[in-house]
Structure formats: structure tokens, C-alpha cells
Amino acid sequence: MSATPKTANDVAPRGALGWLDEHTRLGPVISASLHVRVPRTANTMYFGGIALFLFVIQATTGTLLSLYFKGTPEAAYKSVQFITSEVNFGWLIRSIHHWGADLMILFVVLHLLRIFFQAAYKYPRQMVWLVGMLLLMVTLGFGFTGYLLPWDQRAYWATVVGTEIAGSVPVIGETLLMLLRGGTDVTGDTMSRFFGIHVLVLPISLAALLGLHMLLVHQLGLASPKRPEPRTPEGKAALANEPVRPFFPNYIVDELVAWYILLAVLVVLASIFPAGLEDPANPLQTPQHVKPEWYFLGVYQLLKLIPIKVIGIMTPIVAVGLLVFWPFLDRSPEVLARRRKLAVGGATLVLASLVALTVFGYVS
Ligand code: HEM
């Protein structure tokens, strides 16, 4: 007896997805994106997803701020004052943007540390790591360029110090300084550059890099911190028997809970400690304590402590270079932390020194 032929209604997905597929033919793309291989042993701590959510918050609050912000030195300070005191909920939007920036940098760094200590950068995820390093640099770039925009004393002098550090890089330092400042000093030209980079160049770069990062994670699946990624066809086939956790809805729902908690923390922080504004920038009056933001404070303190300038500046540059290419230098397949004593011990030492330098820079 021949089987009754299936009608379109029998095979097509139903409900909202069915409707969307019928009207867009994107059903297969949507269902594929809801399937990421998550080994049951994987523990991401949701740091990467939280960083992603913070980017969405920054893009949203940044867009709202740009409705009132004016990107010239004369008008910037006044427009920030106006946003804070006149615009409905302007102070809240600005404060969420301010705290969101700090938290985004914090969570990108926590995500990087999680990847490092769990050895999730190893074969076949070296490309994910490289794209991640670019994302880290773009995220820091957001912090650096955004800091100048309110054009108050803190913003102005932190940028003077920050660009001076860039200017002390051997060989290319002077060109770099001119390129960043748009001249020899921090002026309205610097503001135009930083504003353009902050609202156009960096958001586009981050969105493109994030798209690639997520695509690679989707294709490769998440790493298991308990076993190296199999390289042989037999090993890959054995993966079919490994216990996994459904990405949708289980992983996604947990991630949403993490986002919800983060949003609450962000609103509480912004309400209790709203973003401040110092006196307007005055290039003729150097404040007593000029310090960069906390995420550059460790490097700033290192430069102050090392008397030979070129060694001071080359130390973080070499360290970042090492970090970028680390997955290609550490080629052992071992993933367990207790069997990676050199990498784990070395990274802990570097991390502890950086934290100590940051704390020292903060209190001194
Ligand atoms: C804006 C910055 C970033 C965002 C939004 C982001 C987002 C994510 C997300 C959502 C995942 C999925 C798993 C997870 O949540 O951990 C992931 C995985 C990954 N990310 Fe990132 N990431 C960023 C920066 C970085 C950085 C700085 C690195 C390292 C240099 C990195 C390397 C990786 C690697 C290797 C994986 C795969 C991890 C695994 O398989 O367990 N990412 N990223």
C-alpha cells in the first residue's frame, strides 16, 4: 500500500516560525542558528553573552544620547549638561551608558580569562580567539574615544595623558600621536576624530567582527573544558555520543536570566552612582591628579614605575602581541588546568601583577 503523499502543511513548520518561513523563506536559517553544540561539560559562565548584551545596551543608549549630543568642544559640554538636567530620563540613559561601558570591558576581559583558563582557544578555535582579540581592541577603543566626549577637565586631561602614552611608542609614536590628536595638541580636531570614530567606525567594526565571532562559534560549537577537541575521523564520530545540553531553549533561557540580572544591576548602579561632570575642559589648567580610566591604569602605573621609557612602553606591547598569537604558540592539546601549569601559572602571575598595579595606581 502506497503512503499518502505529504501536503505542504505536513512538512512546513507551524506557528510563528511557520508564518515567518512562508513569508521570508528564512525558516532553515533561523532553526540552524538555534542549534549550537553545547557539551554538557561546557561552562561559559555566560560572560560572552553578557558582553554581547552590553553591546546592545551601549548601542541603544548611545543612539539616544546622540539625539542631543553635539560633537564640538564649545557645544559638547553644554549638551551633556542639557542631557543630564533637562532631557526626560537623560541622566539615566547617560549613566547607563557610562556604567555599561565599564561593565562591557569587565565582561569582555572575564570572557577572555574564562577562555584562557579553560583552554577554549585551542584547535580548532584559534580563529575565534583572533577575532576575539580584535573585539577586545575595539571595545577598549570605545572606552578611550568616548571618554573625551563630555569635554570636561577629567575627559580632556585623561586624553592628553592617553595620547601621550601612544606618542611614546618607539618609531611610530609621533605619527600615532598626530593621527590621534589631529595635530600636536588635544583640540576640537581631536574631538571631531574621536566622535566620528566612536559613533561610526567602532560600532560598524564591532558589529561586523561580532557577526564573524558568533558565526565561527556557531559552526565550531562550544569547547569542552574536560577533553581536547578530537582531530581524527573516529574521534569526531565519537562526539555523537557525548552528552550535550540543548542550546534552545535551555542555554538561551539561562542566558536571558543572566541578562535580566545584569540589566537590574546596571539600573541600580546608574541610579545610585550617576555619571558625573567636572568643570569644562581648560587646556591651561592641569588638574593635580590626572589618571586614565581604570582599564588603562595598570599600564599607566607600569610606565611610571619603569624608569627607561622604551622598556616601559614595549612591555605591554610585547605582552599584547604574545596574547594575540598565544593559541599558535601553545600547541599542546592538553586542556586540563592542572596539566598546563606553565600557562596557567604564568597567566595568574601576569593577572595578579596587573591587578596590583591598577590598585596601586588608584590609591597613589
Ligand atoms: C565584544 C566582545 C566579545 C563578545 C560579545 C563575545 C561573545 C562571545 C559569545 C557569546 C561566545 C559563546 C560562548 C560564551 O558565552 O562564552 C563566545 C565564544 C568565544 N569567544 Fe568571544 N566574545 C568577545 C570577545 C572575545 C575575546 C576578547 C576573546 C579572546 C581573545 C574571545 C574568544 C572566544 C572564543 C575562543 C570562544 C569559543 C569558546 C568556547 O568554545 O568555549 N571572545 N564569544
Condensed to tens digits (0 to 9), the pLDDT of residues 55-90 reads: 999 999 999 999 999 999 999 999 999 999 999 999
Q: 311 is written with which cell numbers? A: 622598556
**Ligand 1 neighbours (beta carbon < 6 A):** 44, 46-49, 51-52, 55, 108, 111-112, 115, 120-121, 125, 128-129, 132-133, 135-136, 139, 210, 213, 217, 222-223
82-107 average pLDDT score: 98
pLDDT tens readout for residues 269-302: 999 999 999 999 999 999 988 899 999 999 999 9
**What pLDDT is attached to residue 121?**
98
Peptide bond into 124 cis (omega under 30): yes
Neighbours of 88 (CB within 10 A): 7
| 225 vs 43: CA distance, rounded Å | 8
pLDDT tens readout for residues 293-352: 999 999 999 999 999 999 999 999 999 999 999 999 999 999 999 999 999 999 999 999
Cβ contact 142:198 at 8 Å: yes
DSSP string for residues in 204-230: HHHHHHHHHHHHHHHHH-PPPSSSPPP
Residue 356: partners with Cβ closer than 8 Å, 6 or more residues away = none
Q: For ligand 1, what atom is nearest to the CA of residue 118?
A: 41
Q: For ligand 1, what atom is nearest to the CA of residue 52?
A: 5
pLDDT tens readout for residues 143-199: 999 999 999 999 999 999 999 999 999 999 999 999 999 999 999 999 999 999 999
pTM of structure:
0.94
CATH value of 36-363 in 3.40.50.1000, 3.30.70.560, 1.20.810.10, 1.10.150.130: 1.20.810.10
Q: How many helices (H) and strands (E) would you count in the chain?
A: 17, 0
| 131 vs 212: CA distance, rounded Å | 8
**What pLDDT is attached to residue 16?**
85
Pocket test for ligand 1, best of 47, 217, 220, 322 (most atoms within 8 A of CB): 217
Start-to-end CA span in the chain (Å) = 87
Stated as kind and residue range, the H or E segment containing 269 is helix 252-272
Question: Measured in angstroms, how far is the CA atom of residue 48 from the centroid of ligand 1?
Answer: 5
| 119 vs 110: CA distance, rounded Å | 14
| 209 vs 338: CA distance, rounded Å | 33
